[in-house]
Amino acid sequence: MTMPGSEDLHFRRVVIRLQGAAGSTRSLEIVARFAKLFGSGLSGIFLEDPSLIEWSASPMARHFSRVSAGPSSVSPETLSQDFAAAAAIAKKRLLRIAGALGLPLDFTVAAADWPAFGAAALQPSDLPAVVEPADPSARPSYPFAAILRAMTQADRPVLYVPHGAVERPGPIVSMLREDDEAGRAVARHIARRTGEELVARTEAALSRPAADDVRERLIVLSRQAALPSDAAALCALLSARRVPVFIVGAPRKPNAPPADERTD
């Protein structure tokens, strides 16, 4: 990846983070088309949690699902099998989506702890993409909650696609801190690449519905913006506008309070 401040923004791969709770096909397609627009390849990283697999050997580890009447036992073997099956399904979906767009796809299954956010599998020119799970109960739960937290603390741009996001023509809306010049360059680049108008708003605008005359295509958001640390609240905020959100800027410190600027 070229430096965020560069006018020549380029990602070699758009890397979709996948885990047990899957995102919708439409969300995955949005990511794939974004990759195609930027001339990037598509990559899928399915995260397995080795610690959880180890824990499943504990007699205390039990499994609950919507389809079973009560708890069932779980073991490293069964959990590994479940992860493998979910990874296979995710790979198949991505292959179909990438194939339809003529995109190259590589797919890996990574054993990574949540805080690491799979960083070990990423290369400097990769753009990680986070796809919100279709299952609402998965959003405040681990590992997605941890992924969200890691997203706010990452040191690279992240593409976030909320569940139910739509693709539509419209301006690129930037919600950036005043001093976020690199973020502004990224926003300009995305606007130029998509052929859309660039509209600037303050970060606080994210919490309010889009104006009638501005039905944006994508939001470019400073990571330092007023994002809640709570995963469910963060989801709700990012999903409110139902468009992809491109998060840029320096990483937020863990447990840092949200900025209190509320100007538009």
41 vs 228, beta carbon nearer other proteins: 228
Cβ contact 163:236 at 8 Å: no
Helix axes 25-37, 76-101, angle to 10 degrees: 50
Cβ contact 180:135 at 8 Å: no
d(CA 38, CA 35): 5
Considering only residues 70, 102, 195, 257, which one is a binding residue for other proteins as defined by CB under 8 A?
Answer: 70
200 vs 236, beta carbon nearer other proteins: 236
Q: Does 256 bind other proteins (CB under 8 A)?
A: no
Sign for the pseudo-dihedral over CA of 11, 143, 119, 93: negative
Closest approach of other proteins to the CB of residue 125, in Å: 27
Q: Does 115 bind other proteins (CB under 8 A)?
A: yes
- Cis ω for the linkage preceding 143 (within 30 of 0): yes
Considering only residues 12, 36, 63, 91, which one is a binding residue for other proteins as defined by CB under 8 A?
Answer: 63
12 vs 63, beta carbon nearer other proteins: 63
Longest CA–CA separation in the chain, Å? 58
Q: Does 211 bind other proteins (CB under 8 A)?
A: no
Q: Does 6 bind other proteins (CB under 8 A)?
A: no
Closest approach of other proteins to the CB of residue 22, in Å: 8
* Window 21 to 60, contacts with other proteins (CB under 8 A): 21, 49, 51-52, 54-58, 60
Q: Spell out, one character per residue from 158 to 187, where the chain touches other proteins: x when CB under 8 A holds, - when not.
A: ------x-----------------------
d(CA 35, CA 231): 26
d(CA 75, CA 142): 18
The count of C-alpha atoms lying within 13 angstroms of the C-alpha of 37, restricted to the half-sphere facing its C-beta, is 14
d(CA 176, CA 14): 22
Q: Does 20 bind other proteins (CB under 8 A)?
A: yes
Q: Does 111 bind other proteins (CB under 8 A)?
A: no
How far are the Cα atoms of 10, 16, 160, 245 from residue 3, in angstroms, in the given order? 9, 21, 20, 19
Check residue 259 and report its DSSP letter.
P
* Structure tokens that stand for 56 in this block: 């499943």
Q: Of 179, 223, 220, 215, nearest to 200 (Cα)? A: 220
Interface stretch with other proteins, choices 92-100, 113-121, 174-182, 191-199 (CB under 8 A): 113-121
* Window 133 to 152, contacts with other proteins (CB under 8 A): 133, 135-146
Give how many residues touch other proteins by CB under 8 A.
50
Interface stretch with other proteins, choices 27-35, 131-139, 191-199, 221-229 (CB under 8 A): 131-139
168 vs 192, beta carbon nearer other proteins: 168
**Radius of gyration of the chain measured on its C-alpha atoms:** 18
Q: Where does this chain bind other proteins (CB under 8 A)? A: 19-21, 49, 51-52, 54-58, 60-66, 68, 70-71, 74, 79, 82-83, 85-86, 113-115, 133, 135-146, 164, 230-232, 235-236, 242
